[in-house]
């Protein structure tokens, strides 16, 4: 199975038939979605994978695997894209708008970093390896105009958006990620290309990156009218982050 899909960590309910545990897993996933502000967790495959195929005891779900990302998507998914179909449009307040394909991004200087991934709802994956192109290099390649002071990101899921100030976007720990967990960014994690904003909560790390637009002001992203901070520095919680450690 996809090693990136989370295992639910509820203890086994002894004697309960598998079907009931799947049902409970979905209820828990649903409740987590409500508590987390409505994010839909793809509970079905996450629960059915390990229990249905490989984990009749339910014990694997209790082992900390270190890469226990949870799948988050506010949509039911996104189209699958590969080197033939993937395009990243970079435009807005720039002199030379561009459309970058996967091979264009791969040909640019790559940077690697190992950082924790922290969702504002409290889960955290330590020391995740990432690599890709610095967002600042992508921005430089389109020559932003003097009016460009912020960056807006759109997802090819058709719904999710995010934003950063130009100063935030130019940090060297903000990348257009091509790899994650030592391999290409998997579809469920927002592949083939997602944003990774290391110093901020996970909701800034937009998955299925399709567009980068230079703007004259910060346009609040998907979650911000729904209660999350526009500046999402890890540690400055929104009151939802019970176990932030940095
Ligand atoms: N397009 C898109 N990007 C997204 C989200 C989303 O729902 N849609 N969720 C965000 C949130 S809240 C988190 S914590 C991370 C989760 O990344 P993962 O699904 O790879 O674990 O993706 C972020 N990027
Ligand atoms: Mo999140």
Could you read off the pLDDT of 34-76 as tens digits, one per residue? 333 333 333 333 333 332 333 445 554 444 445 678 888 999 9
Cα 154 off chain centre by: 13
- The total number of residues shown for the chain amounts to 246
pLDDT per residue over 77-106, tens digit each? 999 999 999 999 999 999 999 999 999 999
CA distance 207 to 131: 15
Q: Which residue has the tokens 């982050």?
A: 241
Q: Which atom of ligand 1 is nearest to the CA of 159?
A: 1
The structure's pTM equals: 0.75
What confidence score (pLDDT) does residue 68 get? 78
End-to-end CA, the chain: 31
Q: Is the pLDDT of residue 14 over 90?
A: no
* Ligand 1 pocket at CB < 6 A: 39, 69-74, 119, 155, 157, 160, 189-190, 202-203, 205-208
Residue 211 C-alpha to ligand 1 middle, in angstroms? 16
pLDDT per residue over 136-146, tens digit each? 999 999 999 99
What confidence score (pLDDT) does residue 192 get? 98
SS (H, E, C) 170-186: CCCCEEEEEEECCEECC
Whole-Å CA distances, 211 to 39, 120, 151: 22, 24, 10
pLDDT per residue over 172-222, tens digit each? 999 999 999 999 999 999 999 999 999 999 999 999 999 999 999 999 999
Burial category of 95 from C-beta neighbours within 10 Å (exposed 0-12, middle 13-18, buried 19 and up): exposed
CA distance 17 to 26: 15
Q: Which atom of ligand 1 is nearest to the CA of 119?
A: 14
Residue 119 C-alpha to ligand 1 middle, in angstroms? 9
Please state whether the peptide bond connecting residue 77 to the residue before it is cis, i.e. omega within 30 degrees of 0: no
pLDDT per residue over 19-43, tens digit each? 333 333 333 443 343 333 333 333 3
């Amino acid at each position: 199975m996809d090693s990136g899909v989370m295992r639910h960590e509820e203890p086994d309910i002894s004697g309960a038939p598998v079907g009931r545990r799947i049902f409970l897993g979905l209820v828990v996933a649903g409740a987590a979605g409500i508590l987390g502000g409505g994010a839909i967790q793809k509970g079905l495959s996450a629960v059915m994978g390990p229990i249905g195929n490989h984990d009749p005891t339910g014990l694997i779900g209790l082992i900390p695997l270190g890469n226990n990302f949870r799948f988050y998507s506010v949509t039911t998914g996104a189209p699958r894209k590969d080197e033939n179909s993937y395009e990243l449009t970079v435009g807005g307040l720039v002199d030379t708008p561009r459309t970058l394909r996967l091979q264009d991004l791969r040909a640019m200087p790559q940077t690697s970093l190992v950082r924790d991934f922290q969702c504002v709802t409290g889960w955290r994956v330590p020391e995740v390896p990432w690599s890709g192109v610095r967002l600042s290099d992508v921005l430089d390649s389109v020559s932003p105009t003097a009016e460009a002071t912020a960056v807006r990101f759109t997802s090819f899921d058709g719904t999710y958006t995010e934003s950063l100030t130009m100063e935030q976007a130019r940090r060297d720990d903000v990348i257009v990620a091509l790899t994650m967990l030592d391999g290409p960014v998997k579809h469920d994690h927002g592949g083939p290309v997602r944003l990774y904003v290391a110093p901020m909560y996970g909701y800034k790390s937009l998955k299925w990156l399709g567009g980068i637009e230079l703007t004259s002001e910060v346009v609040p992203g998907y979650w911000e009218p729904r209660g999350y901070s526009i500046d999402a520095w890890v540690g400055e919680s929104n009151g939802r982050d019970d176990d932030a450690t940095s």
